[in-house]
Structure 1
Amino acid sequence: MFPPAPLLHLILVSLTAHLALAGSRITTSLYALSLHASEFTVGILISLFSLFPMLFAVFAGRIIDRSGIVRPMMAGCVAIAAGCALPGMMTGLPILYLATILIGTGFMVIQVAAQHTVGAMSDDENRATNYSWLALGFSISGFFGPVLAGLIIDHAAHRIGYLVFGGFALAALALTALGRVSRIRMPQQREDAAGNAFDLLRDRDMRNIYLVGTLLSSAWDLFTFVLPIHATHSGFSASTIGLILGCFSSATFLVRLAMPWISRHATEWQVLAFALVLAALCYAVFPFMRQPLSMMVVAAILGLAVGSSQPNMLALLHHAAPPGRAGEAVGIRVTIGNACQVFLPLAFGGAGAALGLTAVFWGMTAMIGAGVPVAWRKTALAKTE
């Protein structure tokens, strides 16, 4: 079943904004490396994409719960466009610090708004399917962003890449202001729905969803950090690196395309448990991959694992959230995920500089593996209910 027009338009806005983020992230990594930045410096830059999202995602979710999505999404598009314009017009490493903050924060607002809106406009029967449609859009942009970045860098310049991705952010702004997103009616937050964010974290089911979702999200985000470094050390061109990342995103697209069929044969927790196991195995073998083809294969398998997780995790989260606080619950999820995106690149960047990238890959293997018992236990409980 094809998504309805309001959902399709929301997906198009999210896709366009995410293309700007995905392209600017890989452009930032490769630009910094071209300026002879260390792995730790690249880790700082990638962490800054997530610093302010970590601090303000819950606040953004509360605003969206109360005021709707149009104005916050427009503000997010403006921030992304401004962040891309800065390194497009000025050269050097220092300007990247401000640019990454603006781009990451702007996309956070769009992400929280889109994920909350899809849950609110869906019912229990089609919520996972609608989240799969949204995730498919992110897979498309996740493929074309890195590939386009690599092609532009190889055939033009880093500066041109930033300007192109700023143009995509402006396109998202126009789609938000002029399209059907403004017609989506969101349920208003009830007066008795207010509360402290820690109230949501006291719920054991919510904590388990946040834990497993964060581990799989970190597996995705850390891959986009370590892959350019690992591939650059192996002597690959920017186009080849973009193609490897494109294989990863293509796999996330394919598994999300199959998600309606998968959801008829497996529960959400079964999918998440399998995804954790598969992701841990991919990180364990990745240090041994030294050729483009082998990296593409492992990247695709990892894409299958993490790509299957987000629709199921978001469906579980929206179902478990108290009435009127779904936007805040999504904001907490984004806060936790971005906290990992801030600290993990710093930690693993430092470990990579001191111990080598093999320690980074195997450290991530251990971290992902720690979530397997949680998901496995929830799977067993679901069978007994």
Structure 2
Amino acid sequence: MADHPAADGIPPRLITIYQIMLVVLLWNSAYKGVRVLNTLYALELGATPLHIGLLLATYGVFPLLLAVLAGRIADRYGSRVPIIAGMVVSTVGAVLPWFAPSLPLLFIAAAITGLGFILGQVAFQSLVGSLGEGMARTRNFNNYALIVAVADFVGPVLAGFSIDHGGHVPTYLFLGLLSTTSIIAIIALARRVPIHRKPAPAPAGQRMIDLFRDADMRRVLIAGAVVMTGIDL
């Protein structure tokens, strides 16, 4: 693991799990709030249940296609760049309907938000995994999962409160500003996010389908798919 030295020759301190948790709380709250907001606003615009199902599915298009690639990017270039890029992209998607509110644009915004989310989420998980070994790593992932769960609660509540008091369209701006706050926070901490050395080249011919040939990995993937399907339903 390597990083650029500070001007005085003293390397910056690594980011802590608690600093990551603060950034993730802000960012994920905005993301989860926007998912709820898009659904409610689509209904307000006259969307059918089929439209709502397609809208929620749109969030998963880029994660489905690019999750493995996002992991490879984080492995090759470190967590810093994909985290910031993913957060910026998802924020653009979150605030887009504020500029031109319409049902078709909600689908475009959902796709952009999903793209940014998978880039940032995978890189955040890679960063959390790099902060410790053994029990420390397990504890860090427990804390990370806990703050994501808190964001799952906070985001929809904030979205609902804002809709009640300001309406649907202004809530896009509010959640966009919340997400922007998380970007400012991670940029302020950027020098503490390590830049990893490039890993050894992957074996020739390695493909995504190879993940399913590992029985343990296959069970994890199937269980994760069932859980995520249940959450959206």
TM class by shorter-chain length?
0.7 to 0.9
Conserved? CA contact 1:83–1:103, under 8 Å: yes
Check 1:7–1:158 CA distance in 2 against 1; reply closer, same or farther (3 A cut): same
- TM-score for the superposition, normalised by structure 1: 0.54
Q: Which residue is equivalent to 2:114?
A: 104
Check 1:86–1:185 CA distance in 2 against 1; reply closer, same or farther (3 A cut): closer
Q: Which residue is equivalent to 1:41?
A: 51
Match of 1:205 among 216, 220, 225: 216
How many angstroms does 1:82 deviate by?
1.2
How many angstroms does 1:41 deviate by?
0.3
Q: Which residue is equivalent to 2:207?
A: 196
How many angstroms does 1:33 deviate by?
0.8
Aligned residues: 219
- How large is the Cα RMSD of the aligned pairs? 1.9
Conserved? CA contact 1:17–1:107, under 8 Å: no
Task: Answer 1 or 2: which has greater helix percent.
Answer: 1
Q: Which residue is equivalent to 2:157?
A: 147
What do residues 94-121 of structure 1 show as CA deviations (whole Å, max 9, x unaligned)?
A: 2111111111111111110111222233
Which has the bigger relative contact order, CA under 8 A and spacing at least 6? Answer: 2
**How far apart, CA to CA, are the structure 2 residues paired with 1:193 and 1:23?**
41
**How far apart, CA to CA, are the structure 2 residues paired with 1:138 and 1:193?**
34
Q: Which residue is equivalent to 1:174?
A: 184
Match of 2:71 among 56, 61, 64: 61
Q: Does 1:79 align with 2:96?
A: no
Conserved? CA contact 2:31–2:94, under 8 Å: no
Q: Which residue is equivalent to 1:216?
A: 227
Q: Which residue is equivalent to 1:135?
A: 145
Q: Does 1:159 align with 2:165?
A: no
Check 1:186–1:11 CA distance in 2 against 1; reply closer, same or farther (3 A cut): farther
How many angstroms does 1:157 deviate by?
0.9
Q: Which residue is equivalent to 1:286?
A: none
- TM-score for the superposition, normalised by structure 2: 0.86
**How far apart, CA to CA, are the structure 2 residues paired with 1:186 and 1:135?**
23
Determine which structure has more spread, i.e. the larger CA radius of gyration: 1
Could you tell which deviates more after superposition, 171-180 or 159-168?
171-180
Q: Which residue is equivalent to 2:132?
A: 122
What is the identity percentage for the equivalent residue pairs of Structure 1 and Structure 2?
34
Q: Which residue is equivalent to 1:12?
A: 22
What do residues 60-86 of structure 1 show as CA deviations (whole Å, max 9, x unaligned)?
A: 111110001111111111112211222
Q: Does 1:92 align with 2:106?
A: no
How many angstroms does 1:11 deviate by?
2.0
